[in-house]
Structure 1
Amino acid sequence: MQLGEKLAPLAIIIGVITVSFSAILVKLSSGEPGVIAFYRMFFSALILLPFFLRGHVKEVKHLQRKDWILTIAAGVLLALHFILWFESLQYTSVASSTVLVTMQPLFAFVGAYFLFKERITPQAMISAVVAIAGSVLIGLGDLQVSGMALVGDILALISCAFVTGYLLFGQSVRQNLTLTTYTFLVYSVSAILLLLYVLIKGESLGPFEVNEWVIFVSLAILPTLFGHSLFNWAVKWVSTTVISMAILFEPVGAAVFAYFILGEALSVSQLTGGSIILLSLGFFILTIRRIKVS
C-alpha cells in the first residue's frame, strides 16, 4: 500500500472538520453570496500561486485537451456550487443547508457508475434511500417554518449536485496532475467565473471592514485549502463515493458550531432528518467494502 493510500483517511477527516466551518463563516459575513464566493476562490488561488510558480508551471504545458476540459468544467461546477449554496444560507439554517449540500453520495453513486464503472452495492442503494428520506423530512419541516426556507433547501440540494460533479471530474484529472497544479487551475477558473457573476449582478467588491476580510481569508484557508484541497489530494487514492459519504459528517460539526457561535437551535425535523442521514452513513461504513477506482 502506497503512503498516499495510508494517509488518505486522515486527510479526509481533517478535510471534513475544516469544511464544517464554511457555513458558519458565510453566515457571519455581511457580504453578498457571490462576493463571498469570489473572494474565497480568489484568495485560495492567490495563496497557491507562489507554490504553482515555483515548480508546476511546466506541468501545464503537457496537459492534454481532455484534462483541460475536465479541469475547466470542475472550476465552473465549483463556482456554481458556491453561488447556490451561499444563496441557500440566506433563506435556511446552517443545519438544513449543510445536511442537504452534503447529500453527495446520491449523485456520486450515479456519476461514479457511469464515469468509472464502479459497482453500486445493495448497501449503497439502501443508504441512499434512507438518506433521501432524511432530506425529505428536513424539507417538510422547513416548509412548515417558511416557504423561503424550503427554497433554501432546494438551492442547497442543487448545489450538492454541482459539487459532486466537481469531485468526479477531479477524480479523473488528479490521476495525471499534481495537487498544486490541479487546485490552482480549478480555483482560478472558479474565481474568474465568480468575478464575472459579481460584475454582471452589480454587487460591490468593497470596501469592507477588517472583520470581513478576515472571514474571506479564513474561508480560503480553512474549508478550501485544508478542506477541498485535501479532498482533491485524497481522491487520487480513494473513490469520490467514499469521500462523499465521509463528508456527511460535516453537518454534525456545522450544527454544533452554529449552536455555539450563531445560537441556531435544531428543530425536531432537522434533528430527526439529520440523524436519519447520519445513520445511513453509519450503515454504509459498516457494510461496504473498500471501493477501488477501476
Structure 2
Amino acid sequence: MPRRSGFLVLGVVAISCAAVLIRLADAPPLVVAGFRLGIASAVLLPCALIRARRELRALLHERWPSLFAAGLLLALHFALWIASLSQTSVASSVVLVTTTPLFVALASWGLFREHLRRATFVGIAISLGGALLIGCAGMVRGGAALSGNLMALGAALAMAGYLLIGRRMRLRAGLLAYATVVFTVAAGAILVAVAVSDTPFSGYSTRTYAAMVALALVPQLVGHMSLNWALRFLPATMVTVAVLGEPVGASFLAWLTLGEAPTLLELTGGALILAGIALAFAWGGAPNGTQSCPGSSDRTAT
C-alpha cells in the first residue's frame, strides 16, 4: 500500500507543476498545447507499436469515430485551459478546471440515468457557489480575468466530454493503446489549428522550450500515468479526492515562483469548490469510470 500511495502522491505533485510550467513558457497557448501533446504522443507511439500493435490496429479499425471525437475534445480542453492561464490567476484557473468530475456526474445522471446520492447534488451546489465567487473575483480583478475563468470552465466541460467517451472506450481497450491514439489525434488537431492561425512554431527562448518539454514529460506523462497506475490498485474515490491537491499545489508553486498570491474571494471560492467535490465523491459516490481514462486525473488532472 505505501508504494501504491507513493505513485498517487507522485502523480498529484507532477500535475501540480503544469500551470506554473505553462506560465513560464512564453509562447502562444496553441504552441504550448501542441508541444505538450506532440511530445507525449511521440513518446507513447513507439511503446504502443511494440507492446499493443494488435490492439492499436483493432481500435483504429472499429472505433475511429469515437477516438477522433475524444481526441478533438482533449485538444479543446488543453487549448482552452492553457489560454485561460494567460488571462486569469493560476488559483482560479486550476480550481475551475478541477470541476470536471461534477460535469461527468451530472451527465451520467442526465444522459445515462446513473444513480447519484443526495450528497453528490449537495456537493455540486456547493461547488457552484464557489464557482460564482471565483467569477466575482474575476470581475474584481478586471481585464480579461472573467473570460479566463470562463475558458477554464469550458476546458472542464471539454474534459468531461472526453472522459464520458473514454469510460466507454476503456471497456474495450487498454490504457496504452487508447492514450496513444487519442493523444496523437489531439496533437494533430492542435497542429492544424497552429497552421491555420499562422502561429509560428519556432523562434522562442530556450527557457520556453525547456518549460514546454518539461510540461510534456512531467505533468502529462509522469503525472497522468502515475495516476492511472494508482487507479489499478487504489479506490477511484481515493484518487479523485487526492487529485484535489492539485489546485493547492499549483497555487503554492505560483506564489513561490511567480509571486502570485490568490485573493480572499479566490481562496473562499476555491475552498467551496474543493469541499463540494470532496463531498460529492467521498460521500456521494462517483459514477463508475469517472477517473479511469488516460489524461485525466486531473485531471481530471490538468
Q: Structure 1 length as normaliser, TM-score?
A: 0.88
Instruction: Please give the residue correspondences for 1:162-177 in structure 2 after superposition, counting only pairs within 5 Å.
Output: 162-177=158-173
2:197 aligned partner: 201
Cα distance, 1:105–1:292 mapped onto 2, change above 3 Å: closer
Farther-moved stretch of structure 1 (259-268 vs 110-119): 110-119
Percent identity of paired positions between Structure 1 and Structure 2: 34
Residue 20 (str. 1) matches residue 11 (str. 2): no
Aligned mates of 2:90, 2:247 — CA distance in 1 = 8
Aligned mates of 1:121, 1:272 — CA distance in 2 = 25
Secondary structure at 2:63 match in 1: helix
Cα distance, 1:82–1:209 mapped onto 2, change above 3 Å: same
Secondary structure at 2:107 match in 1: helix
Instruction: Please give the residue correspondences for 1:116-131 in structure 2 after superposition, counting only pairs within 5 Å.
Output: 117-131=113-127
- 1:49 is aligned, of 27, 37, 45, to 45
Secondary structure at 1:62 match in 2: helix
- 1:277 is aligned, of 270, 273, 276, to 273
Amino acid at match of 2:36: R
Aligned mates of 1:277, 1:6 — CA distance in 2 = 29
Secondary structure at 1:264 match in 2: coil
2:98 aligned partner: 102
Judge conservation of contact 2:96–2:131 (CA < 8 Å) in 1. Answer: yes
Cα distance, 1:109–1:176 mapped onto 2, change above 3 Å: same
Cα drift, residue 236 of structure 1: 7.4
Q: Cα deviation per residue 1:182-237 (whole Å; 9 max; x = unaligned)?
A: 11111100010000001111111003333222211111111111233445556778
Farther-moved stretch of structure 1 (116-125 vs 158-167): 116-125
Instruction: Please give the residue correspondences for 1:1-294 in structure 2 after superposition, counting only pairs within 5 Å.
Output: 12-63=8-59, 67-114=63-110, 117-231=113-227, 246-289=242-285, 292=288
Cα distance, 1:107–1:13 mapped onto 2, change above 3 Å: farther
Judge conservation of contact 2:237–2:281 (CA < 8 Å) in 1. Answer: no
Aligned mates of 2:281, 2:2 — CA distance in 1 = 17
Structure 2, unpaired ranges of 5+: 291-302
How many aligned positions are there? 290
Aligned mates of 2:189, 2:238 — CA distance in 1 = 29
Amino acid at match of 1:68: W
Secondary structure at 2:253 match in 1: helix
CA RMSD of aligned residues (A): 2.8
Cα distance, 1:170–1:10 mapped onto 2, change above 3 Å: farther
Cα drift, residue 29 of structure 1: 0.7
Amino acid at match of 2:145: A
Cα drift, residue 289 of structure 1: 4.7
Cα distance, 1:52–1:144 mapped onto 2, change above 3 Å: same
Structure 1, unpaired ranges of 5+: none
Judge conservation of contact 2:120–2:281 (CA < 8 Å) in 1. Answer: no
Aligned mates of 2:281, 2:167 — CA distance in 1 = 21
2:296 aligned partner: none
Cα drift, residue 53 of structure 1: 1.8
Farther-moved stretch of structure 1 (199-208 vs 61-70): 61-70
Judge conservation of contact 2:280–2:286 (CA < 8 Å) in 1. Answer: no
Secondary structure at 2:144 match in 1: helix
Cα drift, residue 84 of structure 1: 0.8
Aligned mates of 2:248, 2:60 — CA distance in 1 = 40
Cα distance, 1:277–1:155 mapped onto 2, change above 3 Å: same
Cα drift, residue 105 of structure 1: 2.4
Judge conservation of contact 1:105–1:245 (CA < 8 Å) in 2. Answer: no
Judge conservation of contact 2:33–2:78 (CA < 8 Å) in 1. Answer: yes
Aligned mates of 2:200, 2:211 — CA distance in 1 = 16
Amino acid at match of 2:85: L
Amino acid at match of 1:280: G
Judge conservation of contact 1:75–1:188 (CA < 8 Å) in 2. Answer: yes
